[in-house]
Amino acid sequence: MIVIQMEGEVVAVAGRTVVVTGGRRGLGAALVDEVLARGARKVYATARSAHGDDRPRVVAAELEVRSAESVAALAELAADAEIVFNNAGVLLPAALLADDLDAAATTFDVNVFGPLRVARAFAPVLAANGGGALVNMHSVLSWLAGSGAYGASKAAAWSVTNSLRLELAGQRTQVVGAHAGLIDTEMVSAIERPKATPAEVAARIVDGLENGAVEVLADDVSAAAKAALSGPVEDLVFAR
């Protein structure tokens, strides 16, 4: 694990109430498992459709991040939240020029405005509960060209997170941006390249949170891409 740290609040998971968007499968499900293992008091795990979870500390909730009303309803339900993981996202086949612009617009609505809607709704909740933490899931593709609207949306989300960190500093909310390369989930199952397991990435993200990090680079691929930002921009390409 490679973590970039700045002086700030340190938020331990034990005894806390946590929200994980997109918490039904993939990395989201691994984050739910990880925070439960570290002693979270309660975890709201969201999905776009109704679902169940028989674990006593888990509250299964519906969330459509494209809907301000749905996000507001979640914030009202989870008024005791102290840590929010913005994990919900979408990967659509959306080249910037060749594909339907609607697919690119949907990608940005889910991956950029979705986490922003969640952040806006939960900022007062976190403030009322002592500050807590907001963790936004990005990607190594935040910094690498070649993945169309998805990569562009993750670059925008990275910028949003960096600005939210400043805007939320006054209420003592720790804002963490997490980057990872390929994770072995359904989203990238068609890509035949080495992948980290969701459990590995989830553990590294929560390690970073509990160590007071503002940015977590969950694998060597992400660390290398971040380091390359000072070099020629034409070298920042994701090669499948």
The predicted-structure confidence for 202-228, as pLDDT tens digits, reads as follows: 999 999 999 999 999 999 889 999 999
> Residue 12: is its pLDDT beyond 60?
yes
- Band (192; pLDDT cuts 50, 70, 90): low
CA dist 209 and 130 (Å) reads 16
Q: Is residue 240 part of a domain?
A: no
CA dist 76 and 125 (Å) reads 9
Q: Is residue 115 part of a domain?
A: yes
Q: Which of 203, 149, 156 has the alpha carbon at shortest distance from 180?
A: 203
Q: What share of the chain has pLDDT > 70, as a percent? A: 89
- Band (5; pLDDT cuts 50, 70, 90): very low
Residue 55 belongs to what domain range? 2-235
**How high is the pLDDT of residue 52?**
84
**How high is the pLDDT of residue 98?**
87
> Residue 183: is its pLDDT beyond 80?
no
Q: What share of the chain has pLDDT > 90, as a percent? A: 74
Q: Is residue 91 part of a domain?
A: yes
> Residue 4: is its pLDDT beyond 50?
no
Strands 133-137 and 83-86: parallel
Query: Per-residue pLDDT tens for 38-52?
Result: 999 999 999 998 888
Report the CATH number at residue 183. 3.40.50.720
- On whether the CB atoms of residues 121 and 71 are closer than 8 A, the answer is yes
Q: Is residue 136 part of a domain?
A: yes
**What does the block give as tokens for 72?**
């507001």
Q: Is residue 229 part of a domain?
A: yes
Q: Is residue 11 part of a domain?
A: yes
CA dist 27 and 30 (Å) reads 5
How many CA atoms within 13 Å lie on the side-chain side of 50? Answer: 0
Q: Is 239 exposed, middle or buried (0-12, 13-18, 19+ CB in 10 A)?
A: exposed
Cβ atoms < 10 Å from Cβ of 113: 18
> Residue 9: is its pLDDT beyond 80?
no
Cβ atoms < 10 Å from Cβ of 10: 12
**How high is the pLDDT of residue 6?**
45
**What does the block give as tokens for 68?**
């301000």
> Residue 3: is its pLDDT beyond 80?
no
Q: What is each CA distance from 60 to 19, 22, 78, 163, in whole angstroms?
A: 10, 11, 11, 30
> Residue 93: is its pLDDT beyond 50?
yes
Number of domains composing the chain: 1
State phi, psi for 57 to the nearest 5 degrees: -95, 0
Task: Please compute the mean of the pLDDT values over residues 191-211 and round it to a whole number.
Answer: 87
Task: Please compute the mean of the pLDDT values over residues 130-142 and round it to a whole number.
Answer: 96
User: Which residues, in sequence order, are CB contacts of 63 under 8 Å at separation 6+?
Assistant: 21, 46, 47, 48, 70, 71, 74, 88
Task: Please compute the mean of the pLDDT values over residues 172-200 and round it to a whole number.
Answer: 79
Query: Per-residue pLDDT tens for 66-88?
Result: 999 999 999 999 999 999 999 99
